């Protein structure tokens, strides 16, 4: 089966300084609060910052199912840019999706323009379902990020 692939580009303007938005992506105490779609929680979250640093997050869906992912930072330039390669895993630790996320943060008069570019691919039925929900999931995550920046 040929791998399925999805690419996504999202731009958002946040009413928060760039440093704050960057910290929300790179500090465990912030990222664990907003990462994931609506009604998901994160019961495991680890981040090692810098190029070569690792991140690992296990989301729990409203149905009680766990959705682990892991990644490695390939770019890290505070507070303006980061990128990481990632794998979305099944419960046995096998990669269902692989991909890359790139994030650019630009100061716009004290607010922050977030430009997110991501792609993911996989070749299983589970991959097709995850790719199908990718846009909705990222939009919900970024809405949760906006709410967490107001706290």
pLDDT tens, residue by residue, 85-115:
999 999 899 999 999 999 999 999 999 999 9
What tens digit of pLDDT does each residue of 115-151 get?
A: 999 999 998 888 988 999 999 999 999 999 999 999 6
Q: What is the DSSP string of the chain?
A: -PPEEEEEEEEEEESS-HHHHHHHHH-HHHHHHH-SSTT-EEEEEEE--STT-EEEEEEE-TTS-EEEEEEEEEEEETTTEEEEEEEEE-TTS-EEEEEEEEEEEEEETTEEEEEEEEEEEE-SHHHHHHHHTHHHHHHHHHHHHHHHHH-
Q: In whole numbers, what is the pLDDT of the chain averaged over residues?
A: 96
pLDDT tens by residue, 45-64? 999 999 999 999 999 999 99
**Band of the pLDDT at 18, cuts 50, 70, 90?**
very high
Top CATH class of 4-150 equals: alpha beta
* Extents of the domains making up the chain: 4-150
């Amino acid at each position: 089966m040929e791998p399925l692939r999805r690419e996504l580009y999202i731009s958002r303007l946040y009413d928060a300084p760039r440093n704050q938005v960057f910290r929300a992506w790179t500090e465990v105490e912030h990222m664990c609060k907003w990462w994931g779609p609506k009604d998901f929680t994160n019961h495991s979250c680890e981040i090692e910052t810098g190029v070569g640093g690792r991140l690992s997050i296990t989301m729990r869906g409203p149905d009680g199912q766990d959705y682990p992912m892991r990644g490695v930072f390939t770019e890290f330039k505070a507070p303006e840019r980061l990128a990481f390669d990632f794998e979305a895993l099944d419960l046995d630790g096998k990669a269902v999706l692989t991909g890359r996320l790139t994030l650019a943060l630009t100061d716009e008069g004290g607010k922050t323009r977030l430009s997110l570019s991501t792609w993911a691919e996989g070749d299983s039925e589970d991959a097709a379902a995850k790719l199908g929900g990718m846009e909705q999931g990222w939009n919900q995550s970024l809405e949760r990020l906006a709410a967490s920046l107001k706290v």
